[in-house]
Structure 1
């Protein structure tokens, strides 16, 4: 049967026929596993920054670096840091990661026997055809990506320095200008689904620390008291724009600066939402059980695109740690509580000696 779309031919993408989704890698194969294979094209992923914003920035660099390696176009925006500096700090790609292969290894086809009919055992399935394309690369944070690879990539920078005042629904004109430039980039380079360019590609939109104090509206603005309104409306408009294009967006926001109801609106306007809860500055920083990790990773939202069933992992606990060469997200594996087991053995020993042991004069029936 012929596939409905030729999207599988786009470099750095993977087409899943079961859900009619085109996926791209987040730059972290471990995170792609949690998300159900990768980031669906046409979605907006939200990352709630940790208190100091260091770990969310690393995840954004992985996303941008994967775009450079996959020969995708990149739209990078930030007012807190120069976008050019972020590009210069992209990690270098490596060929193999032994630890990830051992952690996420899957059973061989010979180990998974079909129990319905042996005559159909060796026939290829549609699921096998979807999995033969591997997404994502591995990176080394101690090395920098080649400047030649960066220069050969289509990268658009936005720092908000040349924002012109205009009449719009946003109290801060920077949101309006950023949304306008993203739309212009999609239109001019023909990333809309209705366009038919000679060679199709993916536009990766990376927005660093959106909604930080540098995004506050002016004092003369009518909406200056509710500065979270701009952020929520921008994410909503961006998702409507990305949904009709071959584009995917990843946004990091300093969630600790916003009230809970404002943050919930932003999460509702996005498709995927992730939260980084760092142990730094909390009582968990000195916890011996969690000493190997740097914080909790929570997948707060995973929208079922083109499906009625969500791929949310449920109640599984994930943690992250920043090593010298890489950023790791994995399941939380707690060691056995040796103190409780030791105390239980003492209680059992005491009960044995008191009831039917050799010292019978302590308890005589």
Structure 2
């Protein structure tokens, strides 16, 4: 009996701008932020939808969403931006990708013999043996641990680009990009004339947009801004929003070529104080594959941030305000084709410790980039208060502040104890 080897589909080529995730057996694409990809398990799975809950007084979510849009432009992917008041793609403010020339490090000076410098790995590759630590010749080259080190090993920026948030893509770049826009204001007026809700009209636009790009071997990105806000109309209730999200999620699964990121002003639903509104927020989160929240330190009135604003921790706030800009909460993570989120096993930033609890995450807006890091508190009291005072200034400091020095207090106690013992004798 003869057997014939099964041939794979030659037309099934890898999709540009994606990586294959072995844990979920799905293709994933980048969010535009390397640290964001790391905490989400490597990126956004194709056919998934992620919800970004906006902060009350800041627009950090717009920065995160603009990185998602710029990543699609850098990969040459089709992009659909749905935003209130957006007339054309020229009005978009997208971060510019850092060129390869700027990313190259300055070359180190060569030795005097004009021979190129060889690292330890280069010497091992050429077969040169080590003279002193000869036992390490048989060891393999160790790569950096974790998913973040794996994502950084992308010299050609085929998966995740580096963006400069201080610079935006010019008019020529936006004209050449494959971007379609939808103005919610204009579409709501047209839908009202036809007797249709704005969510139903937008769903039809998204379905036709995905259908046009279905034949191409490329990823389609959909970015929806401030869904459920007053800009979408007061007549559109929460029921229409839930139906829209449920239908959109099924459409993304069926296409298997599209990813979606949408933002929600969750403060509009929580400020009413009604249990019904809070339940609606949970239902909205349930319709999405992943949910993250940006909680900035600015304008916080309750919760953990209010505790940080107390008089006792004023020094902590002054130090933390220069380092972090707010908390980054992950309420729900991607778990497609898996019983648990992949990021729980692959992410080092949010990995569980020995006690079984996850690390607290915080985001910071640096000079040129947006990053997510593990949140930690500074040294209690700061570095200036922990310094040992000089002998000359110890007396002046104790008299000025009204707080005696620790060394002076201990000496006085010892003298009093000694005098008391002599008296008793």
Question: TM range, normalised to the smaller chain?
Answer: 0.7 to 0.9
Partner of 2:94: 90
Partner of 2:130: none
Tell me the SS of whatever aligns to 2:281. helix
Higher mean C-alpha displacement, 71-80 vs 5-14: 5-14
Match runs of 1:327-342 below 5 Å: 327-338=370-381
- Structure 1 or 2: more helix by fraction: 2
Is residue 138 from structure 1 mapped to residue 162 from structure 2 by the alignment? Answer: yes
SS at match of 1:76: strand
Identify the match of residue 261 of structure 1 among 268, 275, 279: 279
1:77-110 Cα offsets, whole Å, 9 max, x none, are 01255463552x11111046699xxxxxxxx9x9
| Match of residue 320, structure 1, among 339, 363, 383 | 363
What's the counterpart of residue 202 of structure 1?
219
CA contact (8 A) 1:209 1:251 kept: yes
Residue among 249, 252, 257 paired with 2:260: 249
Whole-Å separation in 1 of the counterparts to 2:370 and 2:278: 28
Question: In 2, are the aligned partners of 1:24 and 1:40 still within 8 Å (CA)?
Answer: yes
What is the Cα deviation at residue 59 of structure 1?
Answer: 0.9
**Residue 56 and residue 359 in structure 1: after superposition, are their counterparts in 2 closer, same or farther (change >3 A)?**
same
Q: Which stretch has the larger CA shift, 71-80 or 90-99?
A: 90-99
What's the TM-score once normalised by structure 1's chain length? 0.75
The residue that corresponds to 1:69 in the other structure is 74
CA distance in 2, matches of 1:61, 1:150: 13
Q: Is the 8 A contact 2:89 2:174 kept in 1?
A: no
Give the whole-Å Cα distance in 1 for the aligned partners of 2:104 and 2:55.
Answer: 28
Partner of 2:129: none
Correspondence 1:142-221 to 2 at 5 A? 142-160=166-184, 161-162=186-187, 163-165=190-192, 166=194, 173-190=197-214, 197=215, 199-218=216-235
Structure 2, gaps ≥5 residues long = 1-5, 106-120, 125-137, 270-276, 301-305, 345-349, 353-357, 387-403
Q: Residues 294-340 of structure 1, C-alpha deviation per residue, up to 9 Å, x if partnerless?
A: 21111111031112232243521122222342222222132121379
Question: How far apart in 2 are the matches of 1:65 and 1:39?
Answer: 15
CA pair 276-355 structure 1, distance change in 2 beyond 3 A: same
Q: Which residue of 1 is the match for residue 340 of structure 2?
A: 309
Distance 1:149 1:71 in 2: 11
Measured in 2, the distance between the counterparts of 1:46 and 1:321 equals: 20
Q: What is the TM-score of this pair, normalised by structure 2? A: 0.66
- Offset at residue 50 of structure 1 (A): 0.9
**Given the superposition, is the C-alpha separation of residues 273 and 7 from structure 1 closer, same or farther in structure 2, using an over 3 Å criterion?**
farther
Alpha-carbon spacing, 1:357–1:16, altered in 2? closer, same or farther (3 Å): farther
Which structure has the bigger radius of gyration? 2
User: Contact conserved, 1:62 with 1:91, CA < 8 A, in 2?
Assistant: yes
Distance 1:326-1:361 versus aligned 2 partners, 3 A rule: same
2:50 is matched with 45
| 3-state DSSP of counterpart to 1:164 | helix
User: Which 5+ residue runs of structure 1 have no aligned equivalent?
Assistant: 100-107, 111-118, 191-196, 219-223
Q: Could you tell me how far apart the structure 2 residues matched to 1:333 and 1:319 are?
A: 9
Matched residue count: 326
Does the 8 Å contact 1:61/1:91 carry over to 2? yes
Name the Cα RMSD after superposition: 4.0
Give CA-to-partner distance per residue, 1:235-285, whole Å, 9 cap, x none: 221111111220000001100001321111111110111101122223557
CA distance in 2, matches of 1:176, 1:228: 13
